[in-house]
Amino acid sequence: MNYKVIDRETYYRKGVFRHFSQDCKCSTSMTARIDVMELVEYSERTETKFYINFLYILSKVLNSREDYRMGYLWQSDELICYDVINPTQYVFHQDTETCTPVYTKYCQDYEKFYAGALQDVEEAKKTREYGLDAANHPNWFDASYISWLSYDSLNIELPDGYLYFAPIINWGKYRQENGRLLMPVSVRLNHAIADGYLIANVFRLLEQEIEAFVRRTGR
């Protein structure tokens, strides 16, 4: 885990950061539907898991810009940017109706990421422990698939004043609309380090990267 300390005096969001980290501590979130038809077709054609393919694309998008890799060290009151952030995915156990967090390392190499994520899931299926270990995984972001519902909105609440900067991403079932497969995705970021533009940008980048991924890896 490597990171750089951000100089708050030269930080391009200096004024916004000060306001939303001191005067009005809050987060901001959006839900929108993105077109995943090509990724679904690719996954079926290659007999790969759509869930892991999307997790790879999501991880690549969030690592593409420093704004999504920000962190806060409360011990030293430092604003930082991680070199890389990794997804915390989840395994749902049907028998207990509980989840186990799965810490998967992001790798830009798709084949390596896919194999690692798949192995991590299989290992998590062997336990029923919750196993959350956020203290030892500071540069991990939450990536949770709500597989039972194609929802319209979702909101994640965190305690007021808590400077938690890691992205929290949820997505639900895709459904057919006007001949396309649209999937709800929710993006939550702390307002001190992100605004509406940066959150909306995640959706734009996801659709762009899905197109590029299918074109690049299509068989």
- How would DSSP label each residue in 76-133? TTEEEEES--EEEEEEEETTTTEEEEEE----SSHHHHHHHHHHHHHHHTT-------
Q: Is the pTM of this model over 0.85?
A: yes
Distance CA 131, CA 142 (A): 14
Whether 182 contacts 38, CB under 8 Å: no
- 50-62 vs 37-46: helix crossing angle, rounded to 10: 130
Contact (Cβ atoms closer than 8 angstroms) between residue 131 and residue 103:
no
Which of 61, 22, 75, 34 lies closest to 207, judged by CA? 34
pLDDT at 162: 76
- Amino acid 157: pLDDT: 80
Using alpha carbons, select from 209, 177, 215 the residue that is nearest to residue 55. Answer: 209
Block means of pLDDT (10 residues each) for the chain, 219 residues, are 94 96 92 97 96 98 98 94 98 96 97 98 95 93 96 85 91 96 97 96 97 84
Quick one: CA dihedral 56, 61, 63, 68, positive or negative? Answer: negative
- List the alpha helices (DSSP H) in the chain: 14-18, 37-46, 50-62, 110-124, 196-217
Buried b (16+ CB within 10 A) or exposed e, 83-92: ebbbbbbbbb
Give, in order, the Cα–Cα distances in Å from 162 to each of 11, 157, 167, 191.
20, 11, 14, 11
What amino acid is encoded at 139 in this protein? Answer: N
Supply the pLDDT for residue 206. 98
Token pair recorded at residue 32: 């929108």
Rounded to whole angstroms, the maximal C-alpha distance in the chain is 52
Nearest to 28 by CA among 205, 156, 138: 156
Pick the CATH number of 3-217 from 3.30.559.10, 1.20.120.530, 3.40.50.2020, 3.40.1360.10: 3.30.559.10
